[in-house]
Amino acid sequence: MKTLVLVDGDILAYTAGAAVERETRWDDDTFTLAADLDEAKDAFVTMLTKAKKEAEAADAAPVICFTPSGPTFRHALWPTYKEGRKRKPLVHKALVEWAKTELNYPSVEKPGLEADDCLGILATHPANAAFRRVIVSGDKDLAQIPCEILDFKRGTLTTITEEEGEQLFLLQALTGDPTDNYPGCPGIGAKRAPGIAAGGWAAIVAAYAKAGLTEADALIQARLARILRYADYDHQRKEPLLWEPR
């Protein structure tokens, strides 16, 4: 079986760009920050090559997914989504442009979607069902997608089942994500959340009600948490189909 390697280009570009930044202190009051784009390119390729090897697909031509500039559909649901994140590395924009135009691997980005969503859609696309599918990322949210996940930062390769993916999604709907700046259900932390999520959507709605919130509030958090799959996207209109309880 051939392997389809799907790469989170956002994380690779951020990691490679941050790795080559150098701070120089010229005197007590003057500092500068510099980065070498060629070094960042080398770091990007090195990580990509290592990831393919760890995915047991050294000869595969990976598909690299990126988040385009501008707001995503999640910003329409939660205006402060991802607000307050750290700055991107100096060479990030140039590195991404190079990866998309000169690296000779196919790249994918969709307006209004994040790289995570593109990865989820491709990994669950019926046309790719005959492939062994491996997502390369360091983002824990992608464990919602039923396929193999290579955490390139830790070097771990894990197979996610449909049931495991759905449970993680419901868990995220409860706990929120401080990194992405959406709160989830007040008072529900990592310790209590798994037991509630195991009860399905009704148990999640009950937890929100106990916190003085409504099912509509819970639904917004679930839609923020949901990494899109093939069935969560209108491929003709090119827009997400927001998650509905089943």
- pTM for the structure as a whole: 0.95
Q: Which two tokens stand for residue 213?
A: 């919130």
Say what the pLDDT of residue 217 is: 98
133: nearest Cα among 158, 109, 170: 158
Distance CA 167, CA 163 (A): 6
pLDDT, averaged in runs of 10, over the chain (246 residues): 95 97 96 98 96 92 96 97 93 97 96 98 97 95 97 92 97 95 94 95 98 98 98 97 94
Say what the pLDDT of residue 46 is: 96
Reported as a single tens digit per residue, the pLDDT across 120-140 is: 999 999 999 999 999 999 999
Reported as a single tens digit per residue, the pLDDT across 42-86 is: 999 999 999 999 999 998 989 999 999 999 999 999 999 999 888
3-state secondary structure string across the chain: CCEEEEEEHHHHHHHHHHHCEEEEECCCCCEEEEECHHHHHHHHHHHHHHHHHHCCCCCCCCEEECCCCCCCHHHHHCCCCCCCCCCCCCCHHHHHHHHHHCCCCCEECCCCCCHHHHHHHHHCCHHHCCCEEEEEECCHHHHHCCCEEEECCCCEEEECCHHHHHHHHHHHHHHCECCCCECCCCCCCCCCHHHHHCCCHHHHHHHHHHCCCCHHHHHHHHHHHCCCCHHHEECCCCEECCCCCC
Say what the pLDDT of residue 155 is: 87
Say what the pLDDT of residue 154 is: 87
Going along the chain from its start, the domains and CATH numbers come out as 3-161 (3.40.50.1010), 164-225 (no CATH)
Say what the pLDDT of residue 226 is: 98
Give the burial string for 96-130 (b: 16+ CB within 10 Å, else e).
bebbbeebebebbbbebbbbbbbbbbbbbbeebee
Say what the pLDDT of residue 142 is: 96
Residue 38 CB-density burial (10 A; 0-12 exposed, 13-18 middle, 19+ buried): exposed
